[in-house]
A = this chain, B = another copy of it.
Amino acid sequence: MAEKPTFEFHLVATDGRARAGLLRTPHGEVLTPVFMPVGTQGTVKALSPRDLERLGATIVLSNTYHLYLRPGDERIARLGGLHRFMAWPHPILTDSGGYQVFSLAQRRVVDDDGVTFRSHIDGSPHRFTPEKVIAIQENLGADIITCLDECAPPLDYDYNVQALERTHAWAVRCKLARTRTDQALFGIVQGGVFPDLRERSARFLTDLGFDGYAIGGLSVGETKGEMHAVLDLLDGLLPADRPRYLMGVGTPEDLVECVARGVDMFDCVLPTRMGRNGGALTRTGRLNLRNARFADDPAPLEEDCTCYTCTHFSRAYLRHLVLAKEILGHHLLTLHNVHLMLTIARELREAVLQDRFEEYRAAFWERRKGGEG
């Protein structure tokens, strides 16, 4: 019997440029389009693994930078790997730490070989190289790992030219540095808002060949129009038979509009971060539960939502929890927000499978316009 590949992607159906796919990983299957809740420090904030399972999450993201610093990737390896450590026996994707090093770490110095920085936790000195971040991600043991990239401001052409050279050289080294064969490796397309750089990056990484392609450097300050233009371009350049993962995006609206442009995978801290700040995502807009108009509101966050929060608790109660700084408020709002993102991703898949994507998209925006948020 031939050995089964540890990672596969099947493009199951398309409707226009929108895609429905199937990812196979050593820890299970993932139907795309998919929203990946973010578990920065080895936990999706305010949710337990069984909460995530009940919500229908199939894959979570965790952060190389954070887990390397605390509790340490070698410790996690000794304890049986990240799946065991966080009690999530389903697929996991780890980012490369590039974004955090370039946004969070202190006293950062980048050179062609790698990047030296100080921990945002205790100021201790550290160095990431392509080889190092692969070694860390092999210790963590996620199903999908990613190349180290240099994240540049999206509108600075000269910076992006230089950063792209490094990102590409590092992608080569990341590919060579791997010792495990049971993890998929994604390259990261960079190049800011510049079509020539994005095209160069897509061609370089595609020629090199990866299990999937992450799209980095978007949703970091450019306009929606600029983001969509990059996705429109990349849809024609990236291979159809590999998954495309748009890093750090997004909102319900982003899911719809980026699936429309050929994206398969998403992650974003927005649903969980908003939940901890008293905010709710709905199909008609955002609610700030601190608003006094909810003080006596017996309605759920969203009338037809089937999540635990909406089927049990009023806006008035949620507002009370937020004002009283109760952990249950963080939990219930996060639960609803993640439920909405997962539900919309599932609905988008169904729409593609049933060849009614544009109908779904139009109905989504129609409802969005009538909103109170």
Contacts and interface: CB of A to CB of B under 8 A. Distances in A.
Contacts of A23: none
Interface in A302-341: 308, 312-314, 316-317, 319-321, 323-324, 326-328, 330-332
Contact of A80 (B75, B298, B324, B332): B298
Interface stretch (A12-20, A45-53, A148-156, A253-261): A45-53
A292 B49 CA distance: 25
B80 A45 contact: no
A256 to B, nearest CB: 30
Q: How many copies does the complex hold?
A: 2
Interface residues of A, number: 39
Interface in A16-57: 41-43, 45-50
A46 B328 CA distance: 6
A320 B48 contact: no
B79 A47 contact: no
Contacts of A308: 48, 50
Nearest to A311: B87
B327 A45 contact: yes
B75 A316 contact: yes
A121 to B, nearest CB: 9
Contacts of A71: 295, 316, 319-320, 323
A48 B324 CA distance: 15
A70 interface: yes
Nearest to A298: B79
10 contacts: A42-B320, A46-B328, A49-B312, A70-B324, A71-B316, A71-B320, A75-B316, A79-B314, A85-B314, A86-B317
Given A70-B320, A87-B313, 6 more contacts: A41-B326, A71-B319, A75-B295, A85-B314, A85-B320, A276-B327
